[in-house]
Amino acid sequence: MSEHNTWIDLRSDTVTQPSAAMRAAMAAAEVGDDVYGDDPAVNRLQDFAADLFGYPAGMFAPSGTQTNLIALMTHCGRGDEYLVGQEAHTYKYEGGGAAVLGSIQPQPIANQPDGSIALADIEGYIKPDDMHFARTRLLALENTIGGRVLGQDYLLAATSLAHAKGLATHLDGARVCNAAVRNGVSLREAVKGFDTVSVCLSKGLGAPVGSVLLGPKDFIEQGKRWRKMLGGGMRQAGVIAAAAQHALQHNVQRLAEDHENAFELARGLGEIEELNVTPPQTNIFWMDVPAAACEPLRQFLAQQGIRATVGPRMRLVTHLDISRADALRTVAAFKSFFHDWRA
Ligand SMILES: *Cc1c(COP(=O)(O)O)cnc(C)c1O
């Protein structure tokens, strides 16, 4: 085993290593130049993902930041705006790309404690047709958001409202497979109501690289122009597309195990009096750690072979490379640390 695999890495679900079976699929991929549309493995992945989620077409791109930006730039033009949560990735964690590269104004709106945007806020923030205002074109939601799952009823209500007001709808579905598994619905059901969706293959699904953008055929064709301009035109990308396809075929339903491991981890950590754990809904959860404990805890965990982003408000993430035994060992390490810290 490589040194990598001996770490328990709870920083993110992006840290997974491709499995032997995934690497075999990559090695066997038949490839071509995808800028010419010639890569059979990329074409297969795009068709497979589109069908799986119920869209006419799909586009493979190097990252979710790029698929989201392509979606925003295809839905909105210069001087348009999109409605988005204050905590959303497409607003807060993508470097302001929509504004910087797309000349698109975000209209951020406070997220409710459950991660949703209140329907009254969606309606209230849509600007009248008046030359003083940017043109409100799009509602962008995220599911899961910070590990929280939006309800199916809410998603249908929010997207119906947006459509009734003449807006398009985009889902940042980086972890929409986690949402579907948690809500017990099909992938098609989970994205119902959204004109377009971006799905990350390199998060909990365990592929090394890539996201897909799914939507109508003409939308995806227009989006490919932006993808090229943004530097996302790839050549023999079938090598990574094959890994992504393997991930979609084998690693969706097993996300339930990641959720169970997160529940187990949260249960155990919740027994430690110094920690205030917010119970997980999926594979990501948060807890409060006494500020004075953070630095020694960081050092202790590193000695124990546990990687975590330690801080007063700490995020923990389970994934494909975290087993039940890893979760239990992590709980034991935290208990040992706080036992000594208390003394
Ligand atoms: C990770 C993530 C993305 C895309 O991230 P990349 O690192 O660019 O692939 C988009 N939205 C959410 C919610 C994410 O977690």
> Do 315 and 289 fall into the same domain?
yes
Please write down the HEC assignment for all residues of the chain. CCHHHHCEECCCCCCCCCCHHHHHHHHHCCCCCHHHCCCHHHHHHHHHHHHHHCCCEEEEECCHHHHHHHHHHHHCCCCEEEEEECCCHHHHCCCCHHHHHHCCEEEEECCCCCCCCCHHHHHHHCCCCCCCCCEEEEEEEECCECCECCCHHHHHHHHHHHHHCCCEEEEEECCHHHHHHHHCCCHHHHCCCCCEEEEECCCCCCCCCCEEEEECHHHHHHHHHHHHHCCCCCCCCHHHHHHHHHHHHHCCCCHHHHHHHHHHHHHHHHCCCCCEECCCCCCEEEEECCHHHHHHHHHHHHHCCEECECCCEEEEECCCCCCHHHHHHHHHHHHHHHHHHHC
> Do 55 and 187 fall into the same domain?
yes
> Do 244 and 260 fall into the same domain?
no
> Do 311 and 261 fall into the same domain?
yes
267 inside domain: yes
Instruction: Indicate whether 81 pLDDT > 70.
Output: yes
User: Which domain does 198 fall in, by range?
Assistant: 31-250
Q: What is the pLDDT of residues 40-76, one digit of tens each?
A: 999 999 999 999 999 999 999 999 999 999 999 999 9
Q: Determine the atom of ligand 1 nearest the C-alpha atom of 200.
A: 9
21 inside domain: no
> Do 280 and 220 fall into the same domain?
no
> Do 139 and 285 fall into the same domain?
no
> Do 231 and 281 fall into the same domain?
no
22 inside domain: no
> Do 157 and 294 fall into the same domain?
no
Which of 15, 66, 86, 89 for mutating ligand 1's site (highest number of atoms within 8 Å of CB)? 89
> Do 179 and 193 fall into the same domain?
yes
Ligand 1 contacts (CB < 6 A) are 63-65, 68, 89, 142, 172, 174, 200, 203, 211
46 inside domain: yes
- State the average pLDDT over residues 138-165: 98
Instruction: Give me the CATH number covering residue 337.
Output: 3.90.1150.10
> Do 121 and 170 fall into the same domain?
yes
- State the average pLDDT over residues 132-144: 98
The domain boundary residue, chosen from 250, 278, 297: 250
The domain boundary residue, chosen from 217, 250, 283: 250
Q: Quote the mean pLDDT of the chain.
A: 97
Instruction: Give me the CATH number covering residue 230.
Output: 3.40.640.10
128 inside domain: yes
Q: Determine the atom of ligand 1 nearest the C-alpha atom of 145.
A: 13
> Do 209 and 328 fall into the same domain?
no
pLDDT level of residue 6 (50, 70, 90 thresholds): confident
The domain boundary residue, chosen from 209, 235, 250: 250
Which of 12, 14, 15, 65 for mutating ligand 1's site (highest number of atoms within 8 Å of CB)? 65
Q: What is the pLDDT of residues 272-329, one digit of tens each?
A: 999 999 999 999 999 999 999 999 999 999 999 999 999 999 999 999 999 999 999 9
> Do 184 and 272 fall into the same domain?
no
Q: How many domains is the chain built from?
A: 2
